[in-house]
Amino acid sequence: MALKSPPDSLLHFLRQYPGYYIVAHEEPDGDSIGSQLAFASFLRRRGKQVILLSPGPWQRKEIAPYRSFFLDTLPKSEVRLHFGLIVLDCSSLSRTAQFASILEGLDTGVIDHHQPNGIVQGIVQYIEPNAPSTTLLIQKIVEAFGDTPTPEEARYLFLGFATDTGFFRHLETEASESLELLSRLAVKGVTPKSIYRETFGNYSLESRRYLAKILSTMEPYFQGKLLLTHILHEEYQSFGSEHRQSDPLYQLLLSVEGCEAVAFLREEEPKKTSVSLRSPSTLNVAAIAQKLGGGGHKNAAGYITSLPYQEAKVELLEQFRLLFGNNP
Ligand SMILES: [Mn+2]
């Protein structure tokens, strides 16, 4: 099944305004930032003014070089009412933190690859949950205008694809079309090797100690079907935010024989625990995250709870008990 093409209503919306705000979700990642940068460049080439907004916090090293291109505040009184608003890599303004109330009321277009969970913002929507990254949807829009990405845009688009697919590892049913789109980025001179270095290289030594700390807490539940890890508030705080890189954790644990799901609970504050869930194949962790107030994809999802770690763990294990039965 082919990926949905951008609807005509979106192409019309992108012609309609002299300028656009482009915003994406908080805790930006390579896909949200890559989508914003590539789209901004494309629209500017088409004579549009673009203001890039990001709520932050900027925690991921692969996007750090681009921070200066984004505003993190915008006085409500200065909002240009003749601009359109483009929301990327999420479908609700509530995911944009401080910008939600500031930008409310502007004509909005949403471009996202997540299954919507709740109200979708926007007069025009291009939502394709089968797309492995938002950047591929941006590329499809550029191509729908009969254009091709510049080498710089191609690099941003590849970056988003690389981070959201774990460098191709999570590609599934839409692989053939995705790789066709990617091949057209490679034509522009983007090499997978350089993107790999940018996204999965140059970690700090401290980030490896953080990983070791988390790995040492690993507990198997339900005969090893669930591998649960955590970090408590005090330890979490002892690592600088730039060293809290947990992506390799999932790669390591999901490859364990018999593992059907991985949970990582971070007690970020005494009454705020972020829970990340991953599964290697069929188990739908988004369904669990949604029940507990979050969302995501079948194989990668999460939620935030106001419970401290121990209670959050009990609540989560209860959900897995419904799936795996009564033997913890
Ligand atoms: Mn994404």
Shared domain for 92 and 172, answered yes or no, is yes
Shared domain for 187 and 59, answered yes or no, is yes
Shared domain for 107 and 234, answered yes or no, is no
Position 37 scores a pLDDT of 98
Shared domain for 153 and 224, answered yes or no, is no
SS3 content of the chain, % helix, strand, coil (to 5): 45, 20, 40
Shared domain for 42 and 115, answered yes or no, is yes
Residue 323 CA, ligand 1 centroid: distance in Å: 27
Position 305 scores a pLDDT of 97
Shared domain for 216 and 91, answered yes or no, is no
Q: What is the pLDDT of residues 31-68, one digit of tens each?
A: 999 999 999 999 999 999 999 999 999 988 889 999 99
Q: What is the pLDDT of residues 207-223, one digit of tens each?
A: 999 999 999 999 999 99
**How far is it, in rounded angstroms, from Cα 50 to Cα 84?**
10
Residue 60 CA, ligand 1 centroid: distance in Å: 14
- Count other Cβ atoms within 10 Å, centred on residue 240: 12
Residue 271 CA, ligand 1 centroid: distance in Å: 27
Shared domain for 147 and 17, answered yes or no, is yes
Domain boundary among 199, 225, 251: 199
Residue 156 CA, ligand 1 centroid: distance in Å: 13
Mean pLDDT of 130-137: 96
Position 328 scores a pLDDT of 57
Residue 210 CA, ligand 1 centroid: distance in Å: 25
Shared domain for 153 and 229, answered yes or no, is no
Shared domain for 305 and 163, answered yes or no, is no
CATH of the domain at 317: 3.10.310.30
Residue 113 CA, ligand 1 centroid: distance in Å: 7
Q: Count structural domains, the chain.
A: 2
> Which helix H or strand E contains 197, and what residues bound it?
helix 192-200
Residue 228 CA, ligand 1 centroid: distance in Å: 24
Shared domain for 58 and 140, answered yes or no, is yes
CATH of the domain at 106: 3.90.1640.10
* pLDDT exceeds cutoff 80 at 131: yes
Residue 9 CA, ligand 1 centroid: distance in Å: 22
Residue 207 CA, ligand 1 centroid: distance in Å: 23
Closest CA to 263 of 306, 313, 209: 313
Residue 30 CA, ligand 1 centroid: distance in Å: 8
**Cβ atoms of 126 and 4 closer than 8 Å:** yes
Alpha helices (H) along 104-174: 134-144, 151-164
* Residue-number span of the structural domain to which 104 is assigned: 8-199
Residue 22 CA, ligand 1 centroid: distance in Å: 15
**How far is it, in rounded angstroms, from Cα 109 to Cα 21?**
10
Position 118 scores a pLDDT of 74
Shared domain for 35 and 159, answered yes or no, is yes
CA 14 from chain center: how many Å? 23
CA 81 from chain center: how many Å? 28
pLDDT band, very low/low/confident/very high, at 327 (cuts 50, 70, 90): low
Residue 132 CA, ligand 1 centroid: distance in Å: 7
Residue 237 CA, ligand 1 centroid: distance in Å: 27
